[in-house]
Structure 1
Amino acid sequence: MRIATFSHGSQTLYGAITDKGAIALSPHFRQWPSLREVIEAGALYDLCLAAGEHPVTHPKGTFDYAPPIPNPEKIICVGVNFPDRNAEYRDGSAQPAHMSLFPRFPRSFTGHDRPLIRPPESHMLDYEGELAVVIGRGGRRIRAQDAYDHIAALTICNEGTIRDWVRHAKFNVTQGKNWDNSGAMGPWLVPFTAPAQIDAARITTRVNGEVRQDDAVANMLFPVRQQIAYISTFTTLVPGDIIVTGTPTGAGARLDPPQFLAPGDVVEIEITGIGTLRNTVEDEA
């Protein structure tokens, strides 16, 4: 089942996505204003059941996708999390003892089939295809062996980056990672029900049809279980929090010569069992 947040005119709704369009379910669950509250209530399964009882309300082409979780308390991203990504830095460093982390703000993401925005301050807009996990059951100091019990759903992230702005300071990349609408999340949530949804997944990124990134989630330096355990050591995870788990080698900045995104480009990120997140690129008006 695919559960999404979408808009129609001035309305923001959530519901199930079918091959024919969207089934708006939020009017039937007014106690939960958004998917964040649905997840907090542990009610994604209720939406899946309800989807079978209602017809399509919004045919394909009559609605716009939004990032699935509106205003999550935290979006935490894991950097340099594949062996080949570590090698791309060409600094001779071994695998780090601890994972690199940085925050992203909700405003930095747009939805599926919406344009990524290249700002006038820099044309070094890059793509990064990643698996994103949505926390369903919060906790602090979660054990790695229990981590999957805290996941509600999976989605796809294009963790778009303004490359030269990640080098503006010695030890942080936050300013290069948070330009408005520079990344994307979606198209929908897939409820997490089995470890294989993560352990057997593969991330493939295409730019204008050309494969740029292709790797298995199983090759991560710091697996998802370890990410949840480590992050929850220093901060309490709450329902609706999102962990963006790391991108494979092949981002545009690491190609020779570098190939950054330009207006008219189409970026597609496909993850096994979830679907494909698609975005075009436009210059900021």
Structure 2
Amino acid sequence: MRFATVTADEQQLYGAVIDGGFVALSPDFPQWPTLREVIAADALPTLTKAATGRAVTHPEGSFSWDIPIPAPEKIICVGVNFPDRNAEYKDGQDAPPNMSLFIRFPRSFTGHGAPLIRPPETPQLDYEGEIAVIIGKGGRRIPQDQALSHIAALTLCNEGTLRDWVRHAKFNVTQGKNWDRSGAMGPWIVPFERPDQITDVQLTTRVNGEVRQDDRTGRMLFPVARQIAYISTFTTLVPGDIIVTGTPTGAGARFDPPRYLVPGDVIEVEAQGIGTLRNTVEDET
């Protein structure tokens, strides 16, 4: 079962995605305003039961996709997490002993099918296809061997980046990672039930049908279980928090010359067992 957050008739709803259509469930569960509260209540199985046998309430084309968790407390992103990405930096250094992290704000993401927005300040809008994990059971100092049991669901992310703006300062990338609607997340969440849903799955990014990124999560320098353990050492993870787990080599900035996104481009991020996140590009008006 897949669950999504959508807008239909100017109302935000959550529910199940069945055969491309949408089954609204949120009106039946007013105690859980969004999927974040559903996850906090460990109630995804309740939604599955409620959706079983239900007819589509909103056919495809009658709604727009929102990011699945509209207001997570934290979105934490892992940088330089594949061997070839580390080699891209050409600094002669082996993979670092600890992971690089940065924060993104919910407003920096848009939903499936919506355009990524290229701002007038820079043309260097780039793509980064990634898998994101949504925390179900919170905690602090979570042991690595127990970390995967803290995942509620998986989704996809295009961690869109304004490349020159990540170089504006010496010690941070925040301003290049948080332009409004520069990235995307979705289309839906897939409940996490087995470790093999994340431990070694294929992750591919295409631009206008051309494969640009293609790797497997089994090659991550810092596997997802370690990410959860490390991050929860310094901050308490809570239900609905999102960890964006890292992108393979092949972003536009790494071509010679660079191949940044332009209006009209179509970007698809696909992962086994999750689906495909598709977005276009438009200039900010």
TM range (shorter): over 0.9
Q: CA deviation at 1:256?
A: 1.5
Residue 134 of structure 2 is matched in structure 1 by 134
Tell me how far apart the structure 2 counterparts of residues 94 and 40 of structure 1 sit (CA, whole Å). Answer: 39
Q: Aligned in 2, Cα 1:20/1:251: closer, same or farther, shift over 3 Å?
A: closer
Q: Report deviation, 1:200.
A: 2.7
Match of 2:116 in 1: 116
Instruction: Give the 3-state SS of the residue equivalent to 1:59 in structure 2.
Output: coil
1:66-81 alignment, distance < 5 Å: 66-81=66-81
Change (3 A) 1:20 1:266: closer
* Residue-by-residue CA offset, 1:24-57 (whole Å, 9 max, x unaligned): 0001111100000000000011111111142100
2:186 counterpart of 1:186: yes
TM-score (structure 1 length as normaliser): 0.99
User: Which deviations, in whole Å up to 9, do the C-alpha atoms of 1:200-256 show, x marking residues without a partner?
Assistant: 311100000000000000000000000000000000000000000000000000112
State the partner residue of 2:23.
23
* Alignment partners' CA distance in 2, 1:26 and 1:200: 33
Indicate if the aligned counterparts of 1:202 and 1:215 stay in contact, CA closer than 8 A.
yes
Could you tell me the TM-score, scaled by structure 2's length? 0.99
1:248, 1:275 → 2: CA distance? 17
Aligned-residue CA RMSD (Å):
0.6
Match of 1:222 in 2: 222
C-alpha separation in 2, matches of 1:138 and 1:76 = 14
Query: How many pairs were matched up?
Result: 285
Q: Which amino acid aligns with 2:175?
A: Q
1:275 shift after superposition = 0.1
Q: 2:103 matched to which residue of 1?
A: 103
Instruction: State how 1:222-241 maps to structure 2 within 5 Å.
Output: 222-241=222-241
Report the equivalent of 2:169.
169
Quick check: 1:157–1:184 contact (8 Å CA) kept in 2? yes
After superposing the two structures, state which structure 1 stretch, 179-188 or 52-61, moved more: 52-61
Matched residue, 2:205: 205
Is 155-164 or 196-205 further displaced after alignment?
Answer: 196-205
Does the 8 A contact of 1:67 with 1:184 survive in 2?
Answer: yes
Secondary structure of the residue that 1:49 maps to in structure 2?
Answer: helix
Shift of 1:20: 4.2
- Tell me the residue number matched to 2:284: 284
- Structure 2 residue aligned with 1:265: 265
1-structure distance, mates of 2:93, 2:173:
19
Name the residue aligned to 1:250.
Answer: 250
For 2:150 and 2:82, how far apart are their aligned partners in 1? Answer: 23
The one-letter amino acid of 2:28's match is H
Matching residue's letter, 1:235: T
SS in 1 for 2:198: helix
Query: C-alpha separation between the residues in 1 aligned to 2:239 and 2:87?
Result: 35
4+ residue segments displaced more than 6 Å: none
> Match for residue 55 of structure 2?
55
SS in 2 for 1:38: helix
